[in-house]
Structure 1
Amino acid sequence: TILVSEELTPAMLGEVPTDKLRAMVSVKGSSNSHVAILARAMGIPTVMGAVDLPYAQLDGKDLIVDGYRGLLFSNPNDELREQYNAIYEEEQALAEDLEGLIHQPAETLDGHRIPLWVNTGLITDALRSRDRGAEGVGLYRTEVPFMMKDRFPSESEQQEIYREQLETFSPDPVTMRTLDIGGDKALTYFPINEANPFLGWRGIRVTLDHPEIFLVQVRAMMKASEGLNNLRIMLPMVSNVSEVDTALHLIYRAHVETLEEGFNVEMPQVGVMIEVPAAVYQISDLAQRVDFLSVGSNDLTQYLLAVDRNNPRVADLYQAFHPGVLQALKRIVDEARAEGKPVSVCGELAGNPMGAVLLMAMGYDCLSMNATNLPKVKSVLRGISREWAENLLNEVITMESGEVIASTLQLMLEKAGFGRIIGPNVGA
């Protein structure tokens, strides 16, 4: 089945059995929207923003979906089928070649080791991630189970869902992001209607305005971690220190309440997501309050460039390798290190082999990505030295065009023998 819709939603992903879902096409949205990111995590080729597509006329037709180039072919001839079958077989062969790296560490030729974690949302993500050699979860999207229901899940229901994730990765860490709704992540039973949702009521802003939702969720996370103690809690969309102070107060309260109910749980580590530009300039103050920091590069890029990542009309302006984005990423890691706090990246940039090379060179402690890309990133990092990566970073960080930076990265990695791996991922 190829799922074609005017607008794909995360809930739709749960309606089609994963063994039947081969590809997805959406008239609305872009390759950087939330549902596209989830689809990539599941390894499903997806085309977003197919504006003016007569989607209602495609039912029952044979289609080819090229998720790399954003192309859709209707009623393909035999020649085109053979061409894409060859590409598919090449992809499968590459995946088989990379399977040999599953139990190998992501360690550079000169001995620098960097843990590779995964971003998950569904339990199927978690199971696939374990098969790909993930060493932990850098981002568990707790809003995904909320999107699958027609009401807020109860504390016990949440506890059961979280326990499954924590057990799957135990003893490795699982970083659970508190409920991050708003923007392009809506709950049908909790509508948020705003003229500009990406600058509105979303992330930590919603849950701090509804502490009862926040407390139920945090208690469920803590109860689920009993006996495992591999839980880390992460706060999304933080824009000032007072939000962190309030959230920490509620988390400590939830811990006390959990202990009073008879659960023997440790206080988990708490961190913040850096995805709002204001937070980039408060790294020192934020780092003094929490145990770790993690950069959400998707939203940070969106806000730095003032580009709605769901809008196909401006999708070309969303450049992951924009000089301003790279400068911000370097500033974040430098200031976090000055405070002695670990910092990771859990956005799509970490799962792009070219981006992973730059982030490692900048000094990030950990990279978290979709399970599909993890073997590719590991292969590239194991085939270069950190010194080579640092020299490459020094070369591109002074360039003034994101397109030139992306082209340079592609050229250098192809010269280093990774053309087959980075393939069609340019600028993704």
Structure 2
Amino acid sequence: MEDPYLRERATDIRDLGRRILSHLQEKTPSVTEELTEPVIIVGEELTASMLGEFPLDKVKGLVSVMGSSSSHVAILARAMGIPTVMGAVDLPYSKLDKVDMIVDGYSGQIFTYPSDAIIDSYQQIVDEERLLESEYEQLKDLPCETLDGQRIGLYVNTGLLADINRSLDRGAEGVGLYRTEVPFMIRDRFPTEAEQEQIYRQQLQGFAPAPVTIRTLDVGGDKALPYFPIKEENPFLGWRGIRVTLDHLEIFMAQIRAMIKASAGLHNLKIMLPMISNVAEVEEAQSLIRRAYAEVKEEGYDVIMPKVGVMIEVPAAVYQVKELAGMVDFMSVGSNDLTQYLLAVDRNNSRVAGLYHTFHPAVLRALNDIVEQTKGEGIKLSVCGEMAGDPLGAILIMAMGYDTLSMSSTSLPKVKAVLRKLTMEQAEDMLAQVMSLAHADAVKQTLMKLVREAGVERLIRPSKTAALQ
């Protein structure tokens, strides 16, 4: 199938077939039934069901020749904190039974028959990680504030109900991006207005009174709905995001009405519009949002007009931020798509994936220009995406003058720990030193040197891993 998400599910079907065949052939019982020692699971194509056969307290690592970061087993492993290496091409996996191994999930490296020196080095990494986790736990209820008192908000990106407790446990101050396409993707039809209201209510209630930014349906590109196929020659430059929903007002209005109804009595809803490329799209969307609000209010719901913002993801929006700032309440830079469009690099294409770099000088300059162009407009600015969850990226974003960062809940404690160890002056000095550099690699190397000098490198990645690379 063409859809990458559904293609990954084929792995689960193949796994089911293998398991049925194994029973038909009456093979001997699995080794998992008598497992007493810690193990690293190695295979040609690991699946979520395989992982479920093992006692998870005994699983210390996963290595798969096939698969990707979007496969079920990789998603589960990340959630459980199990070091994982996927796509280990040419690995002689059938010859690794009973072999001592080290799996480095930071660098994507595998060590077989490790020497005592390597084992000692990695044991120090494990000890350091445990120490850092205890340090993070102590920061949970503290604000993200630099040593000289500069405050920046740390929000989370969510998409599932399970994200609520996980995010609050890590000290999230609210939701910077709730991806509404997730509940759309797990169904075989469009959810009704009532079903959407229930879904959004759970998120709004779970984080109340903290703000929850709900993005309108963002499908197209690499996000497809099985019951709403979009076939295009160039999907990333085609019918996606706000373009789809403004062409299907019944979808847009049902979603906006559901959001506003869900916020009744809570008043913590913010609405964000994706893939904005011109002011006309914002004007039309705002008119529809006002209409939906009036309808819901007339139906007797206790609601207030939600704040409305836009995502800055395409170069056209970067060059119109001043006009957009005069129209909306907030703006959020989608760093993943903005990087993709600025560099003309499909990050899902392995042939050009090496050209995709969030520290590319053009990306940094675009981010900085957004802040400069909107000064004095009274607009709140945030960045969501991988760059916000990277401590190095977070330092630069904070120094540029953004108000909030939004990231995955797993990244939040580390980002907070790093920013609390620096002064704003240090962060601004780092920014000044890298903004004149012409190569992305030079930016990354310079940042690592500067955080090393600032004494926060250990919070960014284990020092032993850095020494081994």
Which TM-score band applies after superposition, normalised by the shorter structure? 0.7 to 0.9
Q: Percent identity?
A: 58
2:220 corresponding residue in structure 1: 182
Is the CA contact 1:7–1:29 (under 8 Å) kept in the aligned structure 2? no
Aligned twin of 1:321: 359
Asked if the contact 2:84–2:105 (Cα under 8 Å) also holds between the matched residues in 1, the reply is yes
- Is contact 1:42–1:371 with CA below 8 Å preserved after alignment? no
> What residue in structure 1 maps to residue 172 of structure 2?
134
What secondary structure sits across from 1:232 in the alignment?
strand
| TM-score after normalising by structure 2 | 0.79
> Are the aligned partners of 1:6 and 1:55 in contact in 2 as well (CA < 8 Å)?
no
Q: Distance in 1 between matches of 2:184 and 2:252?
A: 13
Give the match for residue 346 of structure 1.
384
Tell me, yes or no, if structure 1 residue 123 matches structure 2 residue 169.
Answer: no
Indicate conservation of the 8 Å contact 1:118/1:369, yes or no.
Answer: yes
- Of residues 103-112 and 270-279 in structure 1, the stretch that sits farther from structure 2 once superposed is 103-112
Where does residue 270 of structure 2 map in the other structure? 232
CA distance in 1, matches of 2:65, 2:199: 29
Distance 2:364 2:153 in 1: 21
Of residues 126-135 and 332-341 in structure 1, the stretch that sits farther from structure 2 once superposed is 332-341
Check 1:263–1:25 CA distance in 2 against 1; reply closer, same or farther (3 A cut): farther
Q: Indicate conservation of the 8 Å contact 1:233/1:268, yes or no.
A: yes
> Superposed, which structure 2 residues align to 1:248-397 within 5 Å?
248-397=286-435
**Secondary structure of 1:399 counterpart:** coil
What's the RMSD between the two structures over aligned residues?
3.5
Partner of 1:101: 139
Change (3 A) 1:309 1:55: farther
Q: How does 1:6-21 map to 2 (within 5 A)?
A: 8=8
Tell me the residue number matched to 1:150: 188
- Contact 1:182–1:198 (CA under 8 A) maintained in structure 2: yes
1:220 aligns with 2:258: yes
Deviation at 1:93, TM superposition (A): 3.1
Aligned to 1:193: 231
Which letter maps to 1:236? P
**TM-superposition CA deviations, 1:224-257 (whole Å, max 9, x none):** 1101000000001111111111111111111112
- For structure 1, which runs of at least 5 residues remain unmatched after alignment? none
Structure 2 equivalent of residue 419 of structure 1: 457
Q: Is the 8 A contact 1:7 1:26 kept in 2?
A: no
* Residue type at the aligned position of 1:387: E
- 2:203 is the counterpart of 1:171: no
CA spacing shift, 1:356–1:415, aligned 2, 3 Å: same
- C-alpha deviation, 1:92, in angstroms: 3.4
What per-residue deviation string (whole Å, max 9, x for no partner) do you get for residues 135-182 of structure 1? 111111111111111111111111111111111111010000111111
Whole-Å Cα distance in 2 between the matches of residues 277 and 25 of structure 1? Answer: 38
Question: Considering only CA atoms, is the larger Rg found in Structure 1 or Structure 2?
Answer: 2
Q: Which residue of 2 aligns with 1:202?
A: 240
AA matched with 1:331: D
The CA distance in 1 between the partners of 2:161 and 2:392, in whole Å, is: 28
Please state how far the C-alpha of 1:69 moved relative to its aligned partner. Answer: 2.1
> Cα distance 1:6–1:202, how it changes in 2: closer, same or farther (>3 A)?
closer
TM-score, normalisation: structure 1: 0.86
Q: Which runs of 5+ in 2 are unaligned?
A: 13-46
Q: Relative CO higher for 1 or 2, CA cutoff 8 Å, sep ≥ 6?
A: 1
226-235 vs 340-349, greater mean Cα deviation = 340-349
- Per-residue deviation, 1:43: 5.7
Contact 2:371 2:401 in 1 (8 A): yes
Instruction: Name the SS for the 1:338 alignment partner.
Output: coil
Contact in 1 for aligned 2:69/2:75 (Cα 8 Å): no
Residue 315 of structure 2 aligns with an amino acid whose one-letter code is P
2:43 is matched with which residue? none
Separation in structure 2 between the aligned mates of residue 405 and residue 207 of structure 1, nearest angstrom: 39
1-structure distance, mates of 2:349, 2:256: 33
Q: Report the alpha carbon displacement of residue 214 of structure 1 after superposing the two structures with TM.
A: 0.9
Distance change (3 Å), C-alpha of 1:44 and 1:325: farther
CA distance in 2 between counterparts of 1:373 and 1:319 reads 19
CA distance in 1, matches of 2:265, 2:346: 42
Counterparts of 1:274 and 1:408, CA distance in 2: 27
**Contact map agreement 1:208 1:247 (CA 8 A) in 2:** yes
- CA gap of 1:55–1:136, structure 2 versus 1, over 3 A, is farther
Q: Is the 8 A contact 1:27 1:53 kept in 2?
A: no
Distance 2:396 2:165 in 1: 28
Give the aligned partner of residue 242 of structure 1: 280
CA 174–14 in structure 1, closer or farther in 2 if over 3 Å, else same = farther
Using the alignment, how far apart are the partners of 1:422 and 1:403 within structure 2?
A: 17
Q: Read off the aligned partner of 1:345 and give its amino acid letter.
A: V
In 2 relative to 1, CA 131–179 (structure 1 residues): closer, same or farther, beyond 3 Å?
A: same
Q: Please give the alpha-carbon distance, in whole angstroms, between the structure 2 residues aligned to 1:297 and 1:253.
A: 31
Structure 2 SS opposite 1:298: helix
Residue 371 of structure 1: how far off its partner (Å): 0.9
